[in-house]
């Protein structure tokens, strides 16, 4: 199969109460906790969306990062999602577990339980941006550019998608980090494992 060159057309970091896009800070506010930060960030970026506030932390984090990239241009419906992290949905898993560990104080809730799957954030992004596309959630010990690169190359070279939004969204207790990037036939940054690692490690 003829392999066209692929590029990273944009990327986004969310960490330390700061959102950056293509290496430039879009919004920063370290005066609030994560939920407050998400609220002000979404307002500031004009991506407010009532459903955002019902989501769990992982989906809020993933949505914020995805919005920064996909709102730039109207997302193509054939944008595949290839996400990964370390903690899966453990942040919400612990909440569901706490709700069932005492029979005298037993309060499991479907609105929490549904978020005990890491791929729910893919569903949330798909709903907001109307993506009827390939999606896959991977779990690795740490950020793993080789596997993200291989899966993305396959999806684009085999016409399973026109663009791929991929990366890392991890929320574990009070620690969180998102790094998402968009891959297609257009862009200036070569889609290579080295470039993915370099953008991931960049401070912004």
Give me the residues that bind another protein (CB under 8 A), please. Answer: 81, 86-88, 90, 93-94, 96-97, 100-101, 103, 108-110, 113-114, 116-120, 122-124, 126-127, 129-141, 144, 147, 150-151, 153-155, 158, 160
Contact 165, 9 (CB under 8 A): no
DSSP 77: T
CA 176 to chain centroid: 11
The H-assigned helical ranges of the chain are 34-44, 57-70, 90-100, 110-113, 120-129, 145-157, 193-201
Neighbours of 85 (CB within 10 A): 27
**CB of residue 99 to another protein, shortest distance in Å:** 8
Nearer residue to another protein within complex by CB, 112 or 189: 112
Nearer residue to another protein within complex by CB, 19 or 80: 80
**CB of residue 122 to another protein, shortest distance in Å:** 6
**CB of residue 145 to another protein, shortest distance in Å:** 13
């Amino acid at each position: 199969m003829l392999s066209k060159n692929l590029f990273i057309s944009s990327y986004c970091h969310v960490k330390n109460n700061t959102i950056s896009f293509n290496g430039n800070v879009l919004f920063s506010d370290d005066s609030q906790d994560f939920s407050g930060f998400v609220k002000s960030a979404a307002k500031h970026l004009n991506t407010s969306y009532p459903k955002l506030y019902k989501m769990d932390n992982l989906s809020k984090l993933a949505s914020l990062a995805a919005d920064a990239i996909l709102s730039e241009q109207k997302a193509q419906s054939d944008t595949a999602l290839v996400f990964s992290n370390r903690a899966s949905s453990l942040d919400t898993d612990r909440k569901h577990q706490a709700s069932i560990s005492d029979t005298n104080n037993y309060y499991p809730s479907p609105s929490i339980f549904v978020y005990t799957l890491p791929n729910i954030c893919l569903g949330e992004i798909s709903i907001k941006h109307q993506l009827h596309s390939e999606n896959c959630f991977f779990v690795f010990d740490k950020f793993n550019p080789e596997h993200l690169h291989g899966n993305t190359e396959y999806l684009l070279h085999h016409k399973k998608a026109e663009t791929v939004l991929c990366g890392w969204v991890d929320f574990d207790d009070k620690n969180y980090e998102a790094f998402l990037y968009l891959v297609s036939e257009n862009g200036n940054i070569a889609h290579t494992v080295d470039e993915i690692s370099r953008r991931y490690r960049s401070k912004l």
